[in-house]
Structure 1
Amino acid sequence: MADKTSIFTASHGVMTKEVGVISGELELRTSCGEDGMLSLAITYVGAAEWYTLPGEDYKLYDQRDHELVHHLLVNVLERNG
């Protein structure tokens, strides 16, 4: 499973399944399995507990798209309202 992580600042917040909206300096981790299944997790920078983003069953049809999708997510989550 390949993981990609990025740190960014979410001034308007990011919705999580477990605790609702979190904001501030966050770290996004995307993981892509051999089958193309993609999992999305987020945490406060330096925190131990990771949260999941809403939605499920994300699948990439080409694993080479993982890096591009990861960067797109960071840009969308970081954007200012």
Structure 2
Amino acid sequence: MEEKSTTFTATHGVMTTEVGVISGELELRTICDDQGTLKLSITYVGAKEWYTLPGEDYRLHDLRDHEVIHRMLATVLERP
């Protein structure tokens, strides 16, 4: 299992399943297991409660793509 984390500023907000849109200083976490299942979660920087990004059954065909997908998500979520 591999976990990646990135902090960024979301000026327009990020939709979550549990609480709707959150914005500000956020932390994105992606976790990829050995079968390629990808879990996406987000929180306010320094907060304890994590929220999930909408969607389900994210799966990578190649585990080496985890880094690229994580960076891509962080970049897209941060853009104005």
TM-score, shorter chain, exceeding 0.5: yes
Equivalent residues, number: 80
Give, in angstroms, the shift of residue 8 of structure 1: 0.2
C-alpha distance in 2, partners of 1:57/1:76? 20
**Counterpart AA for 2:14:** V
The CA RMSD measured in Å over matched residues stands at 0.3
The 1-side partners of 2:72 and 2:46 are apart by 23
Residue 46 of structure 2: aligned partner = 46
Instruction: Give the structure 1 partner of residue 21 of structure 2.
Output: 21
Unaligned runs of 5+ in 2: none
C-alpha distance in 1 between matches for 2:66 and 2:73: 11
Instruction: Give the AA of the match of 2:34.
Output: E
- The percentage of counterpart residues that share the same residue type is 69
Provide the residue aligned with 1:2 in structure 2: 2
How far apart, CA to CA, are the structure 1 residues paired with 2:4 and 2:51? 16
Q: 1:21 Cα deviation (Å)?
A: 0.1
Unaligned runs of 5+ in 1: none
Aligned partner of residue 4 in structure 2, secondary structure: strand
Q: What is the alpha-carbon distance in structure 2 between the residues aligned to residue 37 and residue 76 of structure 1?
A: 21
The CA distance in 2 between the partners of 1:67 and 1:11, in whole Å, is 24
Moved over 6 A (4+): none
Question: Residue 13 of structure 1: CA displacement?
Answer: 0.1
